[in-house]
Amino acid sequence: MPSESKTAETLVETPQRLSALREEIASGNVKAVELASRYYERIAALNPVLNVYLSLSKERALAQAGRVDGLAAKGDPLPPLAGIPIGIKDVLVMKGAPATAGSKILEGYHPPYDATAVTRLEAAGAVLLGKLNCDEFAMGSSNENSAFGPVRNPVDPERVPGGSSGGSAAAVAANMAVGTLGTDTGGSIRQPASFCGVVGVMPTYGRVSRYGLIAFASSLDRVGPFAGNVRDAATLLGVIAGHDERDATSSAAPVPDFAAESDNPAAGLRIGVPAEYFGEGLDPEVRAAIEKGIQALKAAGCRVQPVSLPHTRYAIPTYYLIATAEASANLARFDGVRYGYRSGRSESLSAMYRHTRDEGFGAEVKRRILLGTYALSAGYYDAYYGKAQQVRRLLAEEYLRAFAQVDALVTPTSPVPPFKLGEKTGDPLSMYLADIYTVTASLAGICGVTVPCGTTGAGLPVGMQILASHMNEATAFRVARAVEAAKV
């Protein structure tokens, strides 16, 4: 066996920092093709248990890895993600690869184009391994709503990895990719990252293009990275962020060097602790871990102060009105004509639509379409959707007032540690309440990072959520680096 293959094997067994891995590839110590092959071997071994990948893009990945090796052999300068194996949540499209969004209704759909985030990763040298399992149309908090079966949490396979980007979080936790992309509409990056003990980033709304994202709730959807450490997550965000003329909501704000910014110490930053995120329903072990994290921030020189966000209690109903309303509009396009699955029972056009949607969508997606259609219907629009928009505005203003006093807010990411598979599937309301600490920032459009912050007595991961104002991801990264360095 050639020596480089041994090196690649070792690198896959012990997760490496992205920058170190890139050095190995640039120096020719490790071939990108060999590294990708080792990741595929690891995926083949672990996927039957964890159910993380829905499809693999081997041909495309190995061709890209070969290009990187060619550049390295010539001694050419290498792009920032040269040869780095990355997984993509299956709500982002890749040309020619199946795109399921975790749903049966997209069966057989092969999109003819790449999402902008995918294009940017590949232009930066990343090797895209395949598409990752998720809740159907990103609706869920446990990955149990996938039409292709749940993902298991690598920390404890009897437990959920969180959702909806459960595959993206589990892939990083099990080192089935060095980094991944997920999406966050109401917590779907932050909560699974927290459940699997990895770093997850919800960028500011507009920071990353949504072009090529299968939409759930367009005013809330964000694309963002997962990684094993804060600096790697910052590097990935730097690659995918920035204006895109194909997404009218994408921002023209300049993109800082997030990785370099994250190297700045957190000392002197003002940190707010909102009382409303530490109330009833918070698991005592999660609370204790987050309190240790807050002590660590004080020790790192942060100035910690209490803040109050009294409207927070309206966030769950507001989110579940707005998100379902937008989903009911976005999902109207899946009618058996334009994409994927079509029912065989099509005695008339309207029967074909009905049967296709009845057979193609899962229970949670149907529930959301019903809720959203109701909230938007004439006669109820003002009382539900209109009111929710007003409350959304109040929630955003409340954060803005807090950010006049502090640089970042810290909270638990989830009120509870990862729960058991099946534990909440019979009770949609208790599943919705799992999002209690994440949905408010989604409604306000601000950014957030979740970073591992200790464990429970049983060894289950706890995540700290760090929220910062619009376009202030760099501040959230600095705070996250301090928590990470403290090894709570």
**Residues with catalytic function:** 89, 164, 188
Do residues 176 and 130 make contact, with C-beta atoms less than 8 angstroms apart? no
Helices (H), 27-97: 32-50, 58-74
CB of 246 to ligand GLN, least distance (A): 21
- Number of residues interacting with ligand GLN: please give it, by CB under 6 A: 13
Positions in 323-342 near ligand GLN (CB under 6 A): 323
Positions in 297-326 near ligand GLN (CB under 6 A): 323
Measured from the CB atom, the residue of 211 and 216 that comes closer to ligand GLN is 216
Report the residue from 244, 398, 435, 473 that binds ligand GLN according to the rule CB under 6 A.
435
Measured from the CB atom, the residue of 21 and 476 that comes closer to ligand GLN is 476
Looking up tokens 């602790």, which residue turns up?
273
Do residues 166 and 151 make contact, with C-beta atoms less than 8 angstroms apart? yes
DSSP 416-462: SPPPBTTSSTT-HHHHHHTTTTTHHHHHHT-EEEEEEEEE-TT--EE
Q: Which secondary-structure segment (H or E) carries 399?
A: helix 387-405
CB of 476 to ligand GLN, least distance (A): 18
Measured from the CB atom, the residue of 186 and 293 that comes closer to ligand GLN is 186
CB of 365 to ligand GLN, least distance (A): 10
CA distance 273 to 198: 22
Measured from the CB atom, the residue of 217 and 300 that comes closer to ligand GLN is 217
CA distance 453 to 472: 21
Burial 250-269 (b: 16+ CB within 10 A, else e): bbeeebbebbebbeeebeeb
What token pair was written down for 289? 């871990």
Measured from the CB atom, the residue of 167 and 186 that comes closer to ligand GLN is 186
What token pair was written down for 363? 């229970």
What token pair was written down for 85? 């194996």
Positions in 159-188 near ligand GLN (CB under 6 A): 164, 184-188
Measured from the CB atom, the residue of 19 and 249 that comes closer to ligand GLN is 249
Positions in 214-253 near ligand GLN (CB under 6 A): 216
What token pair was written down for 204? 């500011």
Pairing between strand 127-132 and 53-56? antiparallel
CB of 162 to ligand GLN, least distance (A): 9
Q: Which residues contact 43 (CB under 8 A, 6 or more apart)?
A: 52, 53, 56, 129, 130, 176
- Closest-by-Cβ residue to ligand GLN is 188
Other CB atoms within a 10 A radius of the CB of residue 280 amount to: 5
Burial 161-191 (b: 16+ CB within 10 A, else e): bbbbbbbbbbbbbbbbbbbbbbbbbbbbbbb
Query: Identity (one letter) of the amino acid at 108?
Result: G
Binding range to ligand GLN, per CB under 6 A, among 134-142, 274-282, 288-296, 384-392: 134-142
CB of 311 to ligand GLN, least distance (A): 19
CB of 184 to ligand GLN, least distance (A): 5
Binding range to ligand GLN, per CB under 6 A, among 133-141, 392-400, 460-468, 473-481: 133-141
Report the residue from 37, 57, 119, 141 that binds ligand GLN according to the rule CB under 6 A.
141
Measured from the CB atom, the residue of 57 and 185 that comes closer to ligand GLN is 185
Do residues 158 and 187 make contact, with C-beta atoms less than 8 angstroms apart? no
CA distance 323 to 392: 12
Q: Which residues contact 385 (CB under 8 A, 6 or more apart)?
A: 321, 322, 325, 375, 376
CA distance 387 to 375: 10
Site membership for ligand GLN, residue 415 (CB under 6 A):
no
Binding range to ligand GLN, per CB under 6 A, among 3-11, 60-68, 135-143, 274-282: 135-143
In 3D, which of 118, 109, 153 has the Cα closest to residue 133?
Answer: 153
Spacing of C-alpha 373 from chain mean position: 26
Measured from the CB atom, the residue of 20 and 429 that comes closer to ligand GLN is 429
Binding range to ligand GLN, per CB under 6 A, among 36-44, 138-146, 152-160, 422-430: 138-146
CB of 392 to ligand GLN, least distance (A): 15
CB of 293 to ligand GLN, least distance (A): 23
Measured from the CB atom, the residue of 127 and 322 that comes closer to ligand GLN is 322
Report the residue from 33, 139, 215, 488 that binds ligand GLN according to the rule CB under 6 A.
139
Query: Identity (one letter) of the amino acid at 460?
Result: L
CB of 141 to ligand GLN, least distance (A): 4
**Residue ranges in contact with ligand GLN by CB under 6 A:** 138-141, 164, 184-188, 216, 323, 435
